[in-house]
Structure 1
Amino acid sequence: MRVFPKFRSFSRAVHEERDSEQEKKAYPRTEGTPCASLTVWRKSLVISCEGFTVIDSDGNLAYRVDNYDERPEEVVLMDGAGKSVLTMRRRRKLGLGDCWLVYEGEVGNCGLRNGSTESPIFCVRKHVNILQGNTNVQAYIYRGTSDKRHAFSVEGSFAHRTCKVLDESKEVVAEIKRKEASSKGASFGLDVFQLIVQPGFDAGFVMALVLLLDQMFS
């Protein structure tokens, strides 16, 4: 497989921007522990494949997704070295909304492999508003398939790349936002956007949510 040749130049370009004073105020930092800032590029590093490339604040490859389909039954998030981190599998269930199970490691058609857990660690459900409920909610995240109370929620609009991930106390633990360019009139568009992750929260899990939101709302 050939790796996309413009990764290095793109990596430099997306990290030319510094956090503004407004961003620093919006994301308070624990002393000595900064928020994680990731740039997501909706493009695979492998030529002729669809996917995602995620770059950390130092310009290094943090996560990747290759062979990405518009509505697959399974999506695998890999780290920069190509090791499976999380597997998302669509749950076939009667109902109006998408429901996905999130596993650690890799899950194959013949069962679990590569260190994956025997049961899903999270269940992510698309919020379907029928006459009532919070219309601003995009999805709910549960710690188990039988839990009645959600552990996290996603609010905003993924289609516009303006989402917040909130915990049960409504504290923002991560945010998906547009990537702004410093040049006047320049824009990265919707295919390049930013993840801001609060200290102590798993950036890989936030990226898994991005993949599922992309499935649900793109």
Structure 2
Amino acid sequence: MKRFLSLKSLSRTVHINDHEEHGQDQDDDHDHQCQRKYDDDDQKDVVGRVANCTTSLTVWRKSLVMSCNGFTVIDSHGNLIYRVDNYIGRPEEIILMDGSGSSVLTMRRHKKLGLVDSWLVYEGEIGDHLQYCKLNTSGSSRSSRSKRPIFCIRKNINLLINAKSNVLAYVYRDTSDKSCAYVIEGSYTHRSCKVLDGCTKKVLAETRRKEEIVGGVSYGVEVFHLIVHPGFDPGFAMALVLLLDQMFS
């Protein structure tokens, strides 16, 4: 509980200082109204919803569960929005949950692509669903009831020596799709990444490192911002952060 309260305080401090540093005083009222509308909505509407205005989230690479590694994500008012608790080592499956613990998205490693680190993203939780498929001996029933992934994320591999590319990963809508829906560029090590539309190259979401010292303690790369621009799903943006962490940590 003390850990969560300190993060709530940090989120408010970072959010206020960010506006001061970027000279966004004129946009404060608009951002506050957008954020207040976002926070006042029912939790069911917030999770998995496309943002209608810029959403600023604080990501902490810590779990609220003492025995687990994970992530905690809160908004600028300290409200718990997303959490990940099943994050130890290199898991085969990662579940992104909302603040109440309900599954939002499930990410599973895709093992059919050799050396390429890739993941499939599913809506909700798929454990019980796949267990049903295994117990069902009918091939047609298994096919009709199996849950299909909504996205496939593949790590960019530079095979050329001294190749310079800031592309981290490609996001596809299907495992057989050859045209990427989104491109992720930047450096996850420095928490400076951008999610771009695959066609227009418009920035849809981005992470920003915050060099903030609170109470004499520097949070380094363990605490950073996730900025989600209008028209992009904050939940999916957070899922991409989790996969970047797997690929580049």
TM interval, shorter chain, is: 0.7 to 0.9
Equivalence for 1:167: 197
Equivalence for 1:95: 114
Equivalence for 2:236: 205
Contact 2:106 2:122 in 1 (8 A): yes
Distance in 1, matches of 2:131 and 2:110, equals 16
CA separation of 1:23 and 1:209: change in aligned 2, threshold 3 A:
farther
Cα offset, 1:16, TM superposition? 1.1
Equivalence for 2:41: none
Whichever structure has more strand as a proportion of its residues is 1
Cα offset, 1:36, TM superposition? 0.3
TM-score (norm 2): 0.76
Which amino acid counterpart does residue 154 of structure 2 have in structure 1? R
Equivalence for 2:22: 22
Equivalence for 2:74: 55
Cα offset, 1:20, TM superposition? 3.4
Contact 2:59 2:223 in 1 (8 A): yes
Q: Percent identity?
A: 58
2:219 equivalent to 1:188: yes
Equivalence for 1:138: 168
Whichever structure has more helix as a proportion of its residues is 2
Distance in 2, matches of 1:23 and 1:178, equals 17
What is the Cα-based RMSD across aligned positions, in Å? Answer: 2.8
CA separation of 1:110 and 1:118: change in aligned 2, threshold 3 A:
closer
Q: How many residues align?
A: 211
Unmatched runs of 5 consecutive residues or more in structure 2: 35-51, 133-144
Name the larger-Rg structure. Answer: 2
Distance in 1, matches of 2:20 and 2:180, equals 33
Which amino acid counterpart does residue 195 of structure 1 have in structure 2? L
| Correspondence 1:5-16 to 2 at 5 A | 5-16=2-13
Kindly provide the CA deviation profile for residues 169-210 of structure 1, in whole angstroms up to 9, marking residues without a partner as x: 110000011023276986321111110000121000010001
Q: Does 89-98 or 135-144 show the bigger shift? A: 89-98
CA separation of 1:155 and 1:100: change in aligned 2, threshold 3 A:
same
Distance in 1, matches of 2:24 and 2:227, equals 11
Equivalence for 2:157: 128
Equivalence for 1:153: 183
Contact 2:103 2:124 in 1 (8 A): yes
2:208 equivalent to 1:177: yes
Unmatched runs of 5 consecutive residues or more in structure 1: none
Cα offset, 1:67, TM superposition? 2.3
Which amino acid counterpart does residue 51 of structure 1 have in structure 2? G
TM-score (norm 1): 0.87
| Correspondence 1:63-82 to 2 at 5 A | 63-82=82-101
Distance in 1, matches of 2:97 and 2:74, equals 13
Cα offset, 1:48, TM superposition? 1.5
Distance in 1, matches of 2:60 and 2:146, equals 29
Distance in 2, matches of 1:173 and 1:109, equals 33
2:76 equivalent to 1:45: no
